[in-house]
Amino acid sequence: MLHNIFDLPIYQSPVATHAETKESVMEEIMRLRADPRCYQPSGNERVYSDYMIAEDPSTRKYKDEVIESVKPNIEEFAGLVGGTKLDFGQIWFQRYETHSFHGVHNHWPSLFSTVY
């Protein structure tokens, strides 16, 4: 028997500055995608990500731009859930090959995750 012990809320909101942010962020992701450290395939999980190289200061140049573009959305969400301050602890990109996937996982100890 399957029991649902908690709801999984999903908040969806358009990013107002997406058109202005998209080009420069995608350029940076394509640059990082060429870095062999960002591609570690395993079975059908063929995912490009800079998660593995977080300590390298040359990565995540897109961080501030992405955070600024989603900040109004995050603040709106925080208000809906009664939050007063949300911290942007980590940020990384993932890009998938056709017919690929990333296995089920969580982002502990994060309470909320944002997908842009």
List strand residue ranges (DSSP E) for the chain, in order.
47-49, 94-96
The two three-digit tokens of residue 84, written as one number:
């007063």
Check whether 25 has a pLDDT greater than 80. yes
| Count of beta carbons in the 10 Å neighbourhood of residue 45 | 13
pTM given for the model: 0.71
Write down the residue that tokens 């602890």 correspond to.
89
Check whether 91 has a pLDDT greater than 70. yes
Average pLDDT over residues 25-32: 84
57 pLDDT band, cuts 50/70/90, is low
Backbone angles phi, psi at 60, to 5 degrees: 60, 40
Q: How far apart are CA 29 and CA 93, in angstroms?
A: 7
49, β-bridge pairs: 94
46 pLDDT band, cuts 50/70/90, is confident
Q: How far apart are CA 113 and CA 87, in angstroms?
A: 11
